Amino acid sequence: MAFHRVIDPVTTHTIRPNLLNYHATRATFTWDEIAAELDFLPGGSGLNIAHEAVTRHANNAHSEQVAIRWISKHDAIYDFTYADVEEESNRFANVLQELGIGKGERVFVLAGRIPALYFAALGTLKNTSVFCPLFSAFGPEPILQRMQRGDARVLLTTQKLFKRKVKEILSELPDLKFVLIADIDEHISDHILSLPLLMDTVSAEFVIPPTDPEDMAILHFTSGTTGMPKGAVHVHNAVYHHYMTAKYALDLHPNDVFWCTADPGWVTGTSYGIIAPLLHGVTNIIDEAEFDAQRWYRILEEQRVTVWYTAPTAIRRLMRLDFDPLEEFDLSHLRFVASVGEPLNPEAVVWGRDVLDLTIHDNWWQTETGGIMIANFAGQEVRPGSMGRPLPGIEAAIVRRINSETVQVIEKPNVDGDLALKPGWPSMYRAYLHDQARYDKCFVDGWYLSGDLAYRDEDGYFWFVGRADDIIKTSGHMVGPFEVESALMEHPAVAEAGVIGVPNDVIGELVKAFVALKPGYVASDELNRELLGFGRKKLGSAVAPKEIEFRDTLPKTRSGKIMRRLLKAWELGLPEGDVSTLED
């Protein structure tokens, strides 16, 4: 199959890649090797992600090394050593104890990339409660849906987000016990509390209780195609995979300065923006600000970033700049660049080679997998446009669904099918919370079916083809059309809504809604804008449609289900395919 060109592995390494011989490493790899590099809780009392990420470093010679370097929107830089992060996360764990929040209870965080978010994540894990991040650009509706489904007990947020998005939904969250506000100095009421005030009154010492590796640690919501978002349950055992993938797929070495640009509201920003770098004891850069091309190059230069994990949307924005970055910025410290979120187009990989003098290594995984599954590696041949090859310990295949109980593995190369993984890796999700049926449906005949379509070439490189369902990949995250349609349907003018992703050069896909109006309403520019605004107010900019088109009717099956596939075919001028189920 076509690819632009092969990028040969770099053979002169200043730092020797952790994975030099792909086949040999895969052949001999065992998870016991990784266990030997972990610490485990003292006295055989289990495995806790926060102990591995923070406590063990705070207790050894690493304690004074910078764990988190936080850069504020206004360019103030705050360094937190491993000892500092240990103390702050201990305090947060003690706050939860004081509030009577215990094992397994869900602690949600709705915030930008502020230090409190990181201490809360780690403190929640220490307390054996469950960390559940929410993207701060969600509107009230996605926040409510996720907090209800996730049985939220505590929410950490900021004044502004509380006022804008949370206050109005509080009455629908009767089981939420406390809201902690990160940027107020006084408590507002018995259950809306100042986090700084609480943190000041508790001890900086905390002993992590016994933690079963299978205890729930993190809950990440991911979009569904037919229903509301699903809460993917991850356990402390996932730490094996976080550690292993940071070693092999991100090639982390001691003394690296690592920058993952993803927001912790998404799984990448948690697995690799919080946990993985700390597991390896390196310095983790966190930038509070949103994407800004000049700023990002400046951070890479000034912070001497060595390993950078970013996203296609950002890379394509950098490609728009009309200057040569290497003439303006010293990026000589940068050794390894990786990308995830949606497939990185081959032109972007070639651009990296030509303009940055660096290969950009695309990789593939999803919320359910908890960590990187398939990757292009440092020191290995890169095929631009390909997601790479499976990690050690990961078995991936292309399969064809025969029926609901059987799949057939496609051995022949270059044939499209379902991208499937052999279950059993440590960071695999253990459940969709409260939704066993949807979880079970993902596992067929001994394989986890990812929902992505792909093919494998003759050398074992995997290539993304598309989604097997209607989920939209936009700006590196997933949007479920059902969630968007449901929100639009709440507008009095809307009779039906069908939502699709329209291909877009910058953000991958753009969320577009087709709307049929109720009798008595007339399509107009004014109503179009009203609906756009309505969607944004409910869903927030991260989820809301960016385009709306009116249609007299929407194509439906005889059972009344909107045929998004057909809307997409019409939009893109593609063949309609099978229309036998279309209503008359």
Residues forming the site for other proteins (CB under 8 A): 73, 137, 290-295, 313, 317, 320-323, 475, 506-507, 529-530, 532-534, 536-537, 540-542, 546
Q: How far is the CB of 112 from other proteins (least distance, A)?
A: 9
Nearer to other proteins, 265 or 555 (CB): 265
Q: How far is the CB of 372 from other proteins (least distance, A)?
A: 24
- d(CA 502, CA 556) in angstroms, rounded, equals 19
Q: How far is the CB of 293 from other proteins (least distance, A)?
A: 5
Q: How far is the CB of 339 from other proteins (least distance, A)?
A: 16
Nearer to other proteins, 176 or 311 (CB): 311
Q: How far is the CB of 532 from other proteins (least distance, A)?
A: 5
Query: Which H helix or E strand runs over 233?
Result: strand 230-235
Nearer to other proteins, 422 or 536 (CB): 536
Nearer to other proteins, 185 or 292 (CB): 292
Measuring CA to CA, which residue among 505, 507, 495 is closest to residue 560? 495
How distant, in Å, are the alpha carbons of 85, 121, 126, 138 from that of 130? 18, 9, 10, 20
Nearer to other proteins, 295 or 304 (CB): 295
SS3 annotation, 391-455: CCCCCEEEEEEEECCEEEECCCCCCCEEEEECCCCCCCCCEECCCHHHHHHCEECCEEEEEEEEE
How many degrees, rounded to 5, is the angle at CA 93 between CA 194 and CA 142? 65
Nearer to other proteins, 293 or 453 (CB): 293
Nearer to other proteins, 441 or 529 (CB): 529
Q: What is the per-residue DSSP string for 60-83?
A: SGGGGSEEEEEE-TT--EEEEEHH
Nearer to other proteins, 150 or 535 (CB): 535
User: Per the structure block, which two tokens stand in for 307?
Assistant: 């390993």
User: Per the structure block, which two tokens stand in for 553?
Assistant: 């009717």
Q: How far is the CB of 325 from other proteins (least distance, A)?
A: 10
Q: How many helices (H) and strands (E) does the chain have?
A: 20, 28
Query: Which H helix or E strand runs over 297?
Result: helix 293-302
CA atoms in the 13 A half-sphere facing the CB of 257: 18
Q: How far is the CB of 295 from other proteins (least distance, A)?
A: 5
User: Per the structure block, which two tokens stand in for 460?
Assistant: 């074992």
Q: How far is the CB of 284 from other proteins (least distance, A)?
A: 22
- d(CA 502, CA 512) in angstroms, rounded, equals 7
Measuring CA to CA, which residue among 236, 445, 250, 286 is closest to residue 365? 250
